[in-house]
Structure 1
Amino acid sequence: MSAAASVSAGGGASGTAQAPERADLTAWLGVAAGSLGSLMAALDISIVNSSMPTIQGEIGASSSEGTWIATAYLVSEIIIIPLTGWLERMLGLRRFLLIAAVLFTGFSVMCGLSTTLTMMIIGRVGQGFTGGAMIPTAMTIIATRLPRSQQPIGTAMFGATVILGPVMGPLAGGWLTENLSWHYAFFINVPVCGILMILLLVGLPNQRMRLDELADADWLGIAGMALGLGGLTIVLEEGHREQWFESSLILWLTVVTFIGFALVAAGQLLAKRPVIKLALMRNGGFASVIVMGFVLGAVLYGSSFVIPQFLAAVAGYNALQSGQVVLLAGIPAMLMMPLLPMLIARADARLMIALGFLIMAASCWFDSSLSTESTGGAFSDGQLLRGLGQSFCMMFLNQSAISSVAPRDAGDASGLFNAARNLGGSICLALLATLQDQRLEFHRWTLHSAIQANDPAVQTWVASQSVTGGVGPDGLTSAYMSIDSMVSAQALVMAYSDDFVAMTIGILIVVPLVLLLKPLPKGQAPMAAH
């Protein structure tokens, strides 16, 4: 989501009066509520990343199964983001956000109390549904509660929370895990949600419900998105472990996925107002933005997941140390924040997006040269570059999404862009887990096959290790286990490096799409639509 221009999906709150020239205190309290809610929701996407090894150990999940803890949240957000406009209109903005905050608190407590992977995933799904509503609605509050002259201040506040949330999450989760317990990475939401609800009650006006919106809802699209996105994610997550289509589970889930997407397509034709307006994809420029947003989300969430995993498995970092490394990406984002509105008004969006992606590609390429001796310092340059590139891409892509469609479609355009970004993150996490498993086995057996039993150097080393490990069969067994351990360690590092190579290639593939974009109007201020 853009730092200075993001909009809620599908429409804003109804019944709001024209904002005064200078917003009063209650209006700013409403903006503070929106920013706090978006920060909490964005932070909870990644707050489990650095403490994931600890959580996996306590709830009995493998490293590949652990990706579900992050993926479940993202998939739920993808589904809810396009629905926020409809839910705002039906319930009223304040009531909708109060309900979301209360439920988010309950699901956070459920996650903190989890003792099994199933319980954790259910809690994360609930967090995603309720937390996802808080990110797009923050811009609705800015657009309806602040006059145009003060909206850049509100969007800057909001932008800082959205950019910093994913990089602050691992640090916050790491600190809580090391100093208290991983459970408090979820329990911390209880007091924050209490403050949020007070701000919502004071800062937003009450609006009447419009339950007639239920009759006009795109129920086919809603059901289709849940089935299609949920099925697709499970297929990608579990396909490798289940031997893909040799498994009846994967076959049935593939059928469910196709049925889901067919329902979404039917909703496009039959619903008065489709939950997600796919007709906008006929616009080549907008379709390009969606594809690039997908890749942006893949790298944003993929890198913040892979780095803590590597540091825990290879470098022996604890959760707090891993979080400090991930936080480096937030430094350039914060430094660039005051300059981005000026760049939007003067710079060519196509050039800035291309530059941002190339910087991100360079950052991933730098991180692909890992070794068993690599520590957090090996990621410093990559993280700083990635933060800079992401700042450019998020700002200019979101502005391009809004500018490439008619004003009446700005909300739908933003909903699609935000959903694409989260979908990219969700699918990337699933694919990276699969890629890592496959490449780990590939590198392990390739390295083993390169070790020739009749090589004099190998025989000499085995003989020396046999003496160290004991006389006879026990000594040989110890030597063979030592070889396998070293080979497995090297294979794991090579598999992590392949993750970054894959992200580099993905970025470079989409860079030419900037040629399909139109330049933003010169002198244009960052837009806040709702």
Structure 2
Amino acid sequence: MTDNAVKLEGLAPVRAAPSPAPPSPSPSTVLGADGQAVNWTKVFLGFGGMIVGQFMAMLDIQIVASSLVQIQAGIGATADEISWVQTIYLLAEVVIMPLTAYLTKMWGTQRFYVIASIAFILTSIATGLASSVDMMILTRALQGLAAGAMIPPIFATAMTIFPPERRTTANVLVGLIVTLAPTIGPTLGGHITEALSWRWLFFINVPVGALVVFLVSRYGDFDKPDPRLAKGIDWWGLGLMTVFLLAMQYVLEEGAKNSWLQDDAILWLTVLAAVTGAAFIWRQLTYRQPIVSLKPFGDRNFTLGIVMTFVTGMSLFGGTFILPLYLGQVRGYSSAEVGTTMLVSGLTMFLSAPIAGRVVSRIDARVAMVIGFSLTAWAIGLGARITDDWGFKEFLTLQVVRGLGSMIAMIAAQMMTISTLPVTLMKDASGLINLIRNVAGAIGLAVIATILTHQTVAHYTDIAAAVSTANAVSQEMLSGLTAMMSGAGMADPDGGAHKAFSMLIRRQAAVLSFGDAFMFLSLGCWMAAFLALFARPGAATANLAAARAGGAH
């Protein structure tokens, strides 16, 4: 019997024991194949600590979003410099994520997670104490490395330590954290800054991180390390991957604001990303001990699941990005008003998580994905009809249905992705899934930013051409604006009226561009719903059954 089979069978519920029967375990334990008891209370405490760590790491992506103005003033940064507080965190996260599978195999999940958590605490303190923009960018980069290391191990752990009947619940928890943390981040960050100061956005991680370190170090002994992996590390592969991911992420983050390939730096970084990306893939396929195993892509369900993960990443991060942007730019909402409106998505995801888990566990994953992506696509599609007076009430249905659909789609996609994958590839798969989700988010934001910029100009040109001074309605509006300016005592009422008229056209063009962005996200979800039909039937428990069957022989 293989070690994996022994371990997995040891976590399975025990049926009638042969005579003579062993002593009855307590309700919180089951007996393994080797006669050792597995204490589920300790397992859930250890796994719970990792869940809290993942939530903390993902929360810090968006928690500073609503407080950038205060942080900028506190460290004396320019508008361009302060954007790097967000960008560098994401760059560092993306670089470390693919390495987590290799490092958790080499050091063991428990030791790796504790080290990452301690590093996150220390870098959070350093970031909170930062007195200059250069110091904050450095500490945020280190914090992003630690945070990126804390996210992927959760999914792999959930798929390897829990038996089938508990796996859906674990997946619901993972899906809930992935969706909830970015949604409530800006709202929570705004309230913390208002009540205390922006530095507490980072200091708050200290007590929470200490809890994570305690729980994981005491109860998180889920696997054994393999020190042999320390020999023969693929340094060339590591270098190529780092350059590839850094260049790609920078292009995605900065491309839209720099006119993409019209900017020399973006152009050459795109070429660099393409060359190093191809070289990295070749290296991983040919080296005897790759730092990132690409074997999971040989499984059709995994490959399709990665596409679904990509779409849900774009939908999740894109929706979280576009809504506050509209509310702030078009409606002029304050941070508190934006947070209140956005809170609907977070509450819906939180409340619908048990429903989504039940739906996914009782029907074919392909059907669940079609349902989830269709609901998400329909809800986001409502935004295509957006007008300049949409607020909390108008976005309510969109956010509620999108929240429910996204939760169903995400959980189903995760289950389908690993449904036919060998247990031995779970850690590799987890790192790739989280990397793709983050990259998808970056691509989604870049595409949406480009759509908003390009379509605003296009709609402005179209409206300005259609609305001329010869148009009776336009003339009447201009006359009214001129009279209003004149009544206000303006020196040049006619010029002021034309300027105000131009601003009205620009506002309408911006609103239409937001509608185009919503339609883009909706079409992506409809495409994912269609692709879900091509997945192979496969229960998430298939691998466990196969492992047991192999062990029996």
Is TM (by shorter chain) over 0.5? yes
Task: Establish whether residue 399 from structure 1 lines up as the match of residue 420 from structure 2.
Answer: no
In 2, distance between residues paired with 1:351 and 1:230? 37
Residue 517 (structure 1) aligned with residue 535 (structure 2) = yes
Map of 1:208-287 to 2, 5 A cutoff? 212-287=228-303
| Within-5 A mapping of 1:485-524 | 485-521=503-539
CA RMSD of aligned residues (A): 3.5
**For 1:157-197, what per-residue CA distance to the aligned partner results, in whole angstroms no more than 9, with x for missing partners?**
44443342232323312322343344433332122112222
Range 258-267 or range 341-350, more displaced: 341-350
Q: Deviations over 1:290-327 (max 9, x none)?
A: 11211110001111121122222222322233223323
Inter-CA distance 522–189: structure 2 relative to 1 (3 Å threshold): closer
- More displaced stretch, 296-305 vs 309-318: 309-318
Matches within 5 A, 1:437-476: 437-470=453-486, 474-476=492-494
Higher relative contact order (CA 8 A, sep 6+): 1
Q: Report matched runs for 1:49-448 at 5 Å.
A: 49-51=65-67, 59-61=77-79, 70=86, 72-112=88-128, 122-139=138-155, 154-205=170-221, 212-448=228-464
Q: 2:50 aligns with which of 30, 34, 44?
A: 34
Asked if 1:478 corresponds to 2:492, the answer is no
DSSP-derived class of the 1:403 partner: coil
Number of residue pairs the alignment of both structures matches: 513
- In structure 2, the CA distance between the partners of 1:161 and 1:179, relative to structure 1 (3 Å rule), is same
Residues 1:414 and 1:478: Cα distance change in structure 2 (over 3 Å) = same
The whole-number CA distance in structure 1 between the counterparts of 2:540 and 2:267 is 51
Q: Once the two structures are superposed, what CA deviation does each residue of 1:31-83 show, in whole Å capped at 9, x if it has no partner?
A: 22111101112222332344457667874326xx9776555444433332221
| Counterpart code for 2:329 | A
Q: CA 1:85/1:464 → structure 2, altered by over 3 Å: closer, same or farther?
A: closer
Q: Are the equivalent residues in 2 in contact too, given 1:160–1:337 (CA < 8 A)?
A: yes
5+ long unaligned stretches in structure 1: 1-11
Q: Which has the larger radius of gyration?
A: 2
The answer on whether the counterparts of 1:178 and 1:318 sit within 8 Å (CA) in structure 2 is: no
Q: Which residue of 2 aligns with 1:7?
A: none
Q: 1:241-298 deviations in whole A, cap 9, x for unaligned?
A: 4343343212321221023202312322332233333344344433222112111100
Q: Tell me if structure 2 keeps the 8 A contact 1:18–1:144.
A: no
Q: Give 3-state SS (helix, strand or coil) of 1:368's partner.
A: helix
Q: Is the 8 A contact 1:368 1:497 kept in 2?
A: yes
Residue aligned with 2:249, SS: helix
Classify 1:16/1:515 alpha carbon distance in 2 versus 1 (closer, same or farther; 3 Å): closer
1:360: Cα distance to partner? Answer: 0.8
Instruction: Pick closer, same or farther for the CA change 1:356–1:99 going to 2, 3 Å.
Output: same
Distance (whole Å) between structure 2 residues aligned to residue 143 and residue 478 of structure 1: 64
State the distance in 1 between where 2:402 and 2:69 align. 24
The 3-state SS of whatever aligns with 1:371 is: coil
Separation in 2, partners of 1:164, 1:246: 37
Query: Alpha carbons of 1:289 and 1:335: their partners in 2 closer, same or farther (altered >3 Å)?
Result: same
Q: TM-score, normalised by structure 1?
A: 0.84
